[in-house]
Amino acid sequence: MNIKQISTICLCVIISIIVVFSVQAMVNEKNLALKTPQTIPILMYHHITLNEEECSNETITLNKFKQDMVALKENGYNTISFKQLYDFVENKKLLPKNPIIITFDDGYSSNFTLAYPVLKDLKMKATIHIIGQMVDKKYVNGIATLPHFSYNEAKNMFDSGLIDIQSHTYNLHNYSIRPGILKLEKETVEQYTTMLTNDFLKSKNEIEKNVGNSVFVFAYPYGLHDNLSEEILKNLGIKITVTTNEGVSKVIPNVTDSLYNLDRINVGCNLTTNELMKKIKEYSNI
């Protein structure tokens, strides 16, 4: 065996050792990631407008929304679905680096006509929590309201693979009648359970029938909830609940309860894009 052959063999051995250690390092890194609690910023949007005069704590301009989404990209955030979040906790599937979830509450038409094209262009994911009774509505009891998108439009978005449609109740958004989904003093537990069950199942069945996706995430109206509402929703198959509490939550692998009562960051007109990026980083470091 000559020197050249010996050198070739030595080189092959060295390369093999490097490959083995590299693969082992990757395995170790993956195993660590699947055991480490993950901070998940969840942004909460509502209505998008072209008119700056309409801006509020729940309404932002299209330009502001575009700036937010571009900034997320530039800062290395990767949008994920709630299914990916669930799979991380329950099924040991890795999340991308810097995961973030974009949500919209209520299901306004502007989510379809203004926000969706931006998300589609940037290939970013989002979840829209709809109020079943308001789908395709422009009037409530003869009074004009902000238009809400239709189920056909919801399916259009869902079929893109970028947008998920989840429940924000069917018809529990009248605070003068009930504080969100909470039990009334005059109700028995049985009556309340029946009421919430019927409302949720109507929401779930309509979404699954008309859109095609599985409903397993619930956004609490006004963020209001308690142990009883949580127990009922869990029994109905809800795997994840989100509130309006300001902040960022951590989910823990193999700990199902860490997927409930997740905090969100509300994005209104007074929160600039730079302030939003700063807030995400500050919350995520807590």
Domain coordinates of the chain in residue numbers? 1-33, 39-284
- What single-letter DSSP state applies at residue 259? G
Contact indicator for 203, 169 with CB cutoff of 8 Å: yes
Query: What pLDDT, on a 0 to 100 scale, did the predictor assign at position 140?
Result: 82
Q: Give the span between the Cα atoms of 73 and 60, in whole angstroms.
A: 19
**Which CATH code fits 39-284?**
3.20.20.370
Phi, psi of 17 (to 5 degrees): -65, -45
Task: Output the pTM of the full model.
Answer: 0.88
Contact indicator for 131, 105 with CB cutoff of 8 Å: no
Query: What pLDDT, on a 0 to 100 scale, did the predictor assign at position 30?
Result: 47
pLDDT tens track, the chain, 286 positions: 666 666 666 565 566 565 445 444 444 444 445 668 999 999 999 999 999 999 999 999 999 999 999 999 999 999 999 999 999 999 999 999 999 999 999 999 999 999 999 999 999 999 999 999 999 999 887 888 999 999 999 999 999 999 999 999 999 999 999 999 999 999 999 999 999 999 999 999 999 999 999 999 999 999 999 999 999 999 999 999 999 999 999 999 999 999 999 999 999 999 999 999 999 999 888 5
**Helical H segments across the chain, by residue range:** 3-33, 62-74, 82-91, 109-110, 116-122, 151-158, 189-210, 227-235, 273-284
Tokens of 197: 């069950």
Query: What pLDDT, on a 0 to 100 scale, did the predictor assign at position 142?
Result: 80
Distances (CA, A) of 156 to 102, 112, 149, 210, 242: 18, 9, 11, 11, 24
Instruction: Kindly provide the residue ranges of all beta strands, DSSP E only, lying in 231-277, ordered along the sequence.
Output: 240-246, 249-251, 262-266
Tokens of 218: 């619930």
Query: What pLDDT, on a 0 to 100 scale, did the predictor assign at position 13?
Result: 59
Query: What pLDDT, on a 0 to 100 scale, did the predictor assign at position 2?
Result: 61
Query: What pLDDT, on a 0 to 100 scale, did the predictor assign at position 29?
Result: 43
| 3-class DSSP state of 139 | strand
Contact indicator for 162, 123 with CB cutoff of 8 Å: yes
Query: What pLDDT, on a 0 to 100 scale, did the predictor assign at position 7?
Result: 60
Contact indicator for 173, 199 with CB cutoff of 8 Å: no
Q: Which of 112, 66, 63 is nearest to 211 (CA)?
A: 112
Contact indicator for 89, 256 with CB cutoff of 8 Å: yes
Tokens of 187: 């109700």
Distances (CA, A) of 207 to 41, 193, 212, 280: 26, 21, 7, 31
Round the CA-based radius of gyration of the chain to a whole number and report it.
Answer: 23
